[in-house]
């Protein structure tokens, strides 16, 4: 019997990253912009998605993957809007992983332009898992407080855009919109910021336009490459 030191130097989540890169490659080539939505529970991901579906659906075929620990409730809400939706119930796991998304790829209709993935409500763990998205959006609802970016930096550092939700409540809360935005920009100066209220329909059209433009850029980049 002998002892042997083996040098490995492999990233432990490397297999997730590899699967994510494959998903991104396949879907971008098929003209699908994948958006990963991250936030704490109750910040309004599903309600925002309902409004986005209403705005995008008439001209842009889309599909939705819903991640939760239990129940089909969120996928049911999206299906009621007439859009294909799949529920991933993790049975306790605090985040989605790329392989869970990968299993659903054969079911996504060919004409799909946008695939929204609503991650498990959690501002910590989902930040560490690439799902093959082209855009990562972090949501911060006004009632959560303007101090969240620096308390949960990884979610904000890895995102492309910050969506402030429930902005209609700001007049009733000690929520400083400028402070929240500046904290997030300190961590990630490249963040695009959108201020929305799903209840009042505010900011939804701007956000939809951002996704449409991002998809056009994605397709143009492919032609160049």
Give the footprint of other proteins on this chain (CB under 8 A): 1-13, 15-16, 93-95, 97, 122, 124-125, 127-128, 150, 153-154, 156-157, 186-190
Q: Please state the closest distance from residue 83 (CB atom) to other proteins, in A.
A: 29
Nearer to other proteins, 156 or 211 (CB): 156
Dist. CA 204–CA 196, nearest whole Å: 6
Q: Please state the closest distance from residue 181 (CB atom) to other proteins, in A.
A: 15
Nearer to other proteins, 152 or 211 (CB): 152
Q: Please state the closest distance from residue 23 (CB atom) to other proteins, in A.
A: 17
Task: Show the tokens assigned to 30.
Answer: 């098929």
Nearer to other proteins, 105 or 157 (CB): 157
Nearer to other proteins, 145 or 153 (CB): 153
Nearer to other proteins, 73 or 151 (CB): 151
Dist. CA 73–CA 34, nearest whole Å: 22
Distance of CA 215 to the CA centre of its chain: 15
Instruction: Give which of 88, 97, 95, 98 is closest to 66, Cα–Cα.
Output: 88
Q: Please state the closest distance from residue 150 (CB atom) to other proteins, in A.
A: 8
Instruction: Give which of 136, 116, 134 is closest to 126, Cα–Cα.
Output: 136
Q: Please state the closest distance from residue 67 (CB atom) to other proteins, in A.
A: 13
Rg value, the chain, Cα = 18
Instruction: Give which of 74, 36, 78 is closest to 56, Cα–Cα.
Output: 78
Are the C-beta atoms of residues 16 and 101 closer than 8 Å to each other? no
């Amino acid at each position: 019997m002998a002892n042997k030191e083996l040098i490995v130097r492999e990233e432990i989540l490397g297999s997730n990253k590899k699967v994510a890169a494959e998903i991104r490659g396949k879907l971008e080539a098929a003209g699908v912009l994948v958006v990963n939505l991250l936030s704490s529970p109750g910040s309004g991901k599903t309600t925002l998605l309902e409004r986005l579906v209403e705005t995008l659906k008439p001209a842009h075929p889309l599909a939705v993957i819903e991640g939760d620990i239990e129940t089909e409730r969120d996928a049911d809400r999206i299906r009621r809007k007439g859009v294909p939706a799949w529920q991933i119930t993790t049975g306790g796991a605090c985040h989605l992983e790329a392989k869970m998304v990968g299993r659903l790829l054969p079911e996504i209709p060919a004409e799909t332009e946008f695939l929204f993935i609503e991650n498990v409500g959690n501002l910590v763990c989902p930040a560490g898992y690439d799902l093959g998205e082209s855009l990562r959006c972090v949501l911060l609802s006004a009632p959560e407080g303007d101090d969240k970016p620096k308390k949960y930096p990884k979610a904000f550092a890895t995102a492309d855009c910050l969506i402030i939700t429930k902005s209609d409540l700001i007049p009733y809360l000690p929520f400083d919109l400028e402070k929240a935005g500046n904290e997030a920009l300190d961590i990630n100066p490249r963040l695009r910021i959108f201020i929305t209220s799903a209840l009042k329909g505010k900011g939804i059209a701007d956000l939809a336009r951002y996704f449409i433009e991002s998809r056009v850029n994605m397709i143009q980049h492919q032609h160049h490459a």
